[in-house]
Structure formats: C-alpha cells, structure tokens
C-alpha cells in the first residue's frame, strides 16, 4: 500500500492534488510560516508525501530501520487520511459509509505503525541499556577498587613486616 501508493504519488501527483489541496493548504498556512524547508505548492507536497511513503515503505518491508520507517509512515498517513477519507464531509450515506471504512482502516494502520515505531523487538531501549551498562561498569570499578585496596593493604602489611624484621635484625647486631 505505501510503496505502490507512494510510487504513484511521486510519478503521477496531478490526480491526487485536488483531493489533497484542502489539507495541503492548511499545512502550508500552519507550517509554512515557520519553515522554508517544505514546498508550498500542493503538487510538490503530494510528491514529497509519496516519496516518504515509498522510501519508508521499502525500508519497513526490508526490515531496515523499522522504527524510523514506521514513524515516518505514521506521519505521512495523517494528511493522506484527512485528504482522501474525510467521510464527515460526504452527504451520500453509501459513499460516507465507504469512506468511514477507509478512514478507520487508516486509523488502524496508524495505530499499528505507532506500535511498530515504539517496538524494540523485546530489547530494552538504548537509554535503559546505557543506564544498565553504566551500573555494571560502576559495580566493576568499585569491585576492582576494593580488590586493589586489599592488595595495597597486603603489600603495605608485608612492607611493615619487612621493615620491622630489618629493624629487629639491626638491633640485634648493634652493641
């Protein structure tokens, strides 16, 4: 769905522009003032959305950067759904019901993409692993420091005994 839909949006955006225009106009007016990174014309926005869907869809299908790809797809699904499936604006009950089904399908996909974006495949997050590793490192350093202190104490004790023995031996030799 994302790969083929994205490809079609990149190659043939013209049929999608009239449907997307109400959403692209709102996006352009809301975000356009804050950034010059987004194109302002609806055709370029349709192509950009399609390119992100194509690229992220391929990444997700290949299992490459699945969390990033899922997040990108979720972001692109919002304007796509609002533009193509705004069932609340349709008067005909049959068409309205059909668009509601498509809207809910996309809402379900959105939820699945959010789950995939947050999924770590059973592995804890990088922050957790970092904290966990630093705790282990701290414990290891404390253990090594304790062991080193024990060895220093042993060496110091041996040195004191040796000095004591030398002093005793020297006393015995002196008149």
Q: DSSP readout, 62-89?
A: HTSSHHHHHHHHHHHHHHHHHHH--GGG
* Mean of per-residue pLDDT scores for the chain: 86
Mean pLDDT of 58-77: 93
- pLDDT, position 120: 74
Backbone angles phi, psi at 121, to 5 degrees: 55, 40
pTM: 0.65
Q: DSSP string spanning 7-26? A: HHHHH--GGGHHHHHHHHHH
Reported as a single tens digit per residue, the pLDDT across 108-134 is 999 999 998 888 776 766 677 777 778
Domain regions of the chain by residue span: 2-118, 125-175
Mean pLDDT of 96-100: 92
Reported as a single tens digit per residue, the pLDDT across 127-167 is 777 777 787 888 888 888 888 888 888 878 887 888 787 77
Query: What is the share, in percent, of the chain residues with pLDDT greater than 90?
Result: 42
CA distance linking residue 118 with residue 125, whole number of Å: 9
């Amino acid at each position: 769905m994302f790969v083929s839909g994205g490809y079609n949006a990149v190659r043939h955006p013209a049929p999608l522009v009239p449907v997307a225009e109400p959403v692209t106009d709102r996006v352009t007016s809301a975000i356009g003032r804050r950034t010059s990174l987004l194109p302002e014309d609806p055709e370029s926005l349709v192509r950009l959305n399609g390119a992100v869907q194509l690229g992220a869809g391929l990444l997700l299908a290949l299992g490459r950067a699945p969390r990033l790809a899922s997040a990108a797809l979720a972001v692109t699904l919002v304007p796509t759904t609002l533009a193509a499936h705004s069932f609340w604006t349709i008067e005909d009950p049959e068409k309205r019901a059909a668009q509601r089904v498509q809207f809910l399908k996309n809402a379900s996909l959105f939820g699945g993409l959010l789950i995939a974006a947050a999924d770590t495949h059973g592995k804890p997050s990088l922050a957790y692993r970092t904290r966990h590793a630093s705790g282990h490192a701290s414990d290891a350093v404390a253990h090594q420091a304790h062991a080193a202190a024990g060895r220093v104490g042993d060496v110091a004790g041996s040195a004191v005994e040796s000095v004591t023995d030398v002093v005793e031996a020297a006393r015995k030799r002196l008149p």
